[in-house]
Structure 1
Amino acid sequence: MTQRSISDTRQERLDAILEYLLADQDASAQSLATRFGVSLMTAHRDLDELQRRGIIRKFRGGVSVQRTSTYEIAATLRRLVAVPQKRAIAAAAHQLVSPGQSVLLDDSTTAASMLDHLLDVEDLHIVTNYLPALSRIAADGRSALTAIGGTYDVGHESFLGVAAAASIRGLRVDTVFFSTSSADAHGTYHQEESIVAVKTEMIRSARRRVLLMDSSKLGGTSLHLVTDWSSIDHLVTDTAAPADLLDTLRSRGVAVTVVDPEESSYQPFSSDEENL
């Protein structure tokens, strides 16, 4: 098969490199140079730039784009992972929202996917710290918008830190829609303290807490506990989620909605809420 040579702009090549790295975990600077028809030095410069942005990690002999228990991948990469699952989860989750409500969206790419549906909901007030979501909501102009300020984090494309946590602490919203990097029967987890502090305040600020999590994140742990399941009202996930974990959560009173990402239009696979 003829390989496509990307030479329009460096940014286009960087975007293509990210997709290539997601597909081939054994990629190296040399294989990237061959794949994109550039010199080895140029390939190293491209990888250095992606590392500078916090998107990848370089190490001797290779490069990694995988999350670990102590490292979360950047939002730029997260947008490219589990896309069908995230879209199905977002479509299901938006049905938990009614006109006139206030909703808080965290900086997860799954929560941001809800905007495809939320912007059509009348008289909605949306609160978020995620810059791409803020820009889209503001440009659309139909929803009331509250921006959570703080220190801007390039890798997460969101506002974090003490100021962000304090801003959230003064809010009371109807529902928070959030995600974390992993979850098991004991609770939900994230690799970074700064993220945990903000998500914890988001959970406290909401009357209803809805966790959006594709199946690839279920069954593992990360360095920091975000919350146990007693603070979560509803989980929306996909059909590949571990059945035993979902049964455990249901037994603890967590409503569980499972969606099929293969469906062209959203149909709930199963739900514990009659009004979904």
Structure 2
Amino acid sequence: MSQRIISHSRRERLDAILECLLADETESAQSLATRFGVSLMTVHRDLDELQRRGVVRKFRGGVSVARTSTYEISAPLRRLVAVPQKKAIAAAAARMVGPGQSILLDDSTTAAMMLDHLLGVEELYIVTNYLPTLTRIAHEGGPTVAAIGGTFDVGHESFLGVGAVGAIRAVRVDIAFFSTTTADVDGIYHQEESIVAVKSEMMRSSRRRVLLVDSGKLGDTSLHQVADWGAVDHLVTDAGADADLLGTLRSHGVAVTVVDPALHSTDSGSGTDAADQDNEEK
């Protein structure tokens, strides 16, 4: 197959279209054509290209970049969503990691942001199926890393399938850091069965399980349940989370850390002390 050649100006327009759709999902093809000074046919070709990449969905009368109960947005787009919240959550989660530990990072963009704080941790061993995490460690060095193989999924930028499940089953790590698309009082969920299989095995292969989800994912469900809260030891989320939901989870034995994206601190204090206090509550 010949490689697709896309001009620099078109790449910039594709990125700008995504930014517009993230800011306002009511944008139509016609309004995008007017905004960028191109023909309606050109915009439709751009949207077709974005759909081919898996970052948008076209439907009669419009286009969507939002996840639904049966559809998850792609990794490139997820990296643009709730960035301050994810950075704060990742910083708090990284404080749970110490020298000499083995950890598992899933293919979530939140877990990947933990690398900003982990590359200097001594004798750290990281297991992951997420290609951007593998690539960054390969370029920057630091921890020892084990790659989980399997079938590469372009939309998730990760390795999935029976090969990935088998590889995860063969390891035991100290802590698994993972995310999912939705969660409510009954458990955590994802839209895709292949992702559920991998995340479920990750949880079984770890001694401690830490869920990283921004508040926008809480209070809703998706097609498949990954697990109930009995399988989660610690939740790290942001200050937008519903207090009643968090209170219910604490009463069920889940340690909870809430971060303020503006401060990178927790609701119980700052630094590692707050996370330690939450652990003692469990």
Give SS of 1:273's match. helix
Give SS of 1:189's match. strand
Separation of aligned partners in 2, 1:15 and 1:132? 19
Q: String of CA shifts for 1:51-102, please: whole Å, max 9, x gaps.
A: 1111111011110011111111111111111110000000000010001111
Give SS of 1:259's match. strand
Give SS of 1:246's match. helix
Paired letter, 1:184: D
Distance 1:126 1:272, change over 3 A: closer
Give SS of 2:18's match. helix
Give SS of 2:267's match. strand
Aligned length: 268
Paired letter, 1:152: F
Pairing of 1:1-276 with structure 2 (within 5 A): 8-263=8-263, 266-270=264-268, 271=274, 273-274=276-277
Separation of aligned partners in 2, 1:76 and 1:272? 30
Give SS of 1:216's match. helix
| 1:200 CA drift (Å) | 0.4
Separation of aligned partners in 1, 2:36 and 2:131? 31
Paired letter, 1:248: T
Q: Percent identity?
A: 72
| 1:9 CA drift (Å) | 2.5
Give SS of 2:277's match. coil
| 1:268 CA drift (Å) | 2.1
| 1:195 CA drift (Å) | 0.3
What corresponds to 1:4 in structure 2?
none
| 1:269 CA drift (Å) | 2.0
Paired letter, 2:59: F
Give SS of 1:152's match. strand
Q: String of CA shifts for 1:133-160, please: whole Å, max 9, x gaps.
A: 1100111111101011111111111111
CA contact (8 A) 1:152 1:158 kept: yes
Separation of aligned partners in 2, 1:224 and 1:50? 26
Separation of aligned partners in 2, 1:247 and 1:60? 42
| 1:272 CA drift (Å) | 5.9
Give SS of 2:156's match. coil
| 1:226 CA drift (Å) | 0.2
Paired letter, 2:222: S
CA contact (8 A) 1:255 1:273 kept: no
Paired letter, 2:267: F
CA contact (8 A) 2:190 2:224 kept: yes
Separation of aligned partners in 2, 1:56 and 1:226? 24
Give SS of 1:70's match. coil
Give SS of 2:225's match. strand
| 1:232 CA drift (Å) | 0.5
> So what's the TM-score if we normalise by structure 1?
0.94
Separation of aligned partners in 2, 1:53 and 1:275? 41
> So what's the TM-score if we normalise by structure 2?
0.92
Separation of aligned partners in 1, 2:133 and 2:9? 26
Paired letter, 1:213: V
Separation of aligned partners in 1, 2:9 and 2:161? 34
Separation of aligned partners in 1, 2:102 and 2:212? 18
Paired letter, 1:44: H
